[in-house]
Amino acid sequence: MSKYGRIEVRVEPEYLEEHSDPKAGHFVFAYHIFIRNMGTMSARLMRRYWFITDGDGKIEEVEGDGVVGEQPLIAPGQTHRYSSFCILPTPVGVMEGHYRMKAADGHEFDAEIPAFRLTAPGVLH
């Protein structure tokens, strides 16, 4: 396998009931991200690209530099962790996307963020 593109992304979503107001169509979710460099070369997370789909099928695209104000350099075998949040007008949704990475030798590649579900408790069986 190539030294590029060996970035593993794992996500743990969490419904934030104390910040949500279902009657007002305001559902807040945290997501905790774990980015592990499985390659042989350090890589810097340069940009993020998110596709957020709410329960009505409306898609919002979000992109920007780094994550939570950082462009972390992740060495081989290391994991970078961060948390962020998303507000939806529906009690369910899906997020997915990718990170634009830059290897130590200047090569750029995308690391896939697998789709994950955002679900308020009691909505799905």
Q: What string of H, E and C letters represents the secondary structure of 74-85?
A: ECCCCEEEEEEE
pLDDT at 7 (0 to 100): 96
Q: Give the β-pairing of 92-103 and 108-119.
A: antiparallel
pLDDT at 86 (0 to 100): 96
CB proximity list for 37: less than 8 A, separation 6 or greater? 6, 7, 43, 74, 75, 76, 77, 78, 79
pLDDT at 97 (0 to 100): 98
Q: Decide: helix, strand or coil at residue 22.
A: helix
Inter-residue contact 62 to 68 (CB < 8 Å): no
Inter-residue contact 74 to 115 (CB < 8 Å): no
pLDDT at 5 (0 to 100): 58
User: Against a cut of 0.85, is the pTM above it?
Assistant: yes
Q: State pLDDT tens for residues 30-70.
A: 999 999 999 999 999 999 999 999 999 999 999 999 999 99
pLDDT beyond 70 at 125: no
pLDDT beyond 70 at 123: yes
Mean pLDDT of the chain: 94
| Across 2-6, 16-20, 86-90, 121-125, least confident range | 2-6
The residue extents of the domains of the chain are 7-119
As beta bridge partners, residue 81 has 34
Which of 125, 100, 124, 94 has its CA nearest to residue 112?
A: 100
pLDDT beyond 90 at 3: no
What would be the CATH architecture of the domain defined by 7-119? Sandwich (2.60)
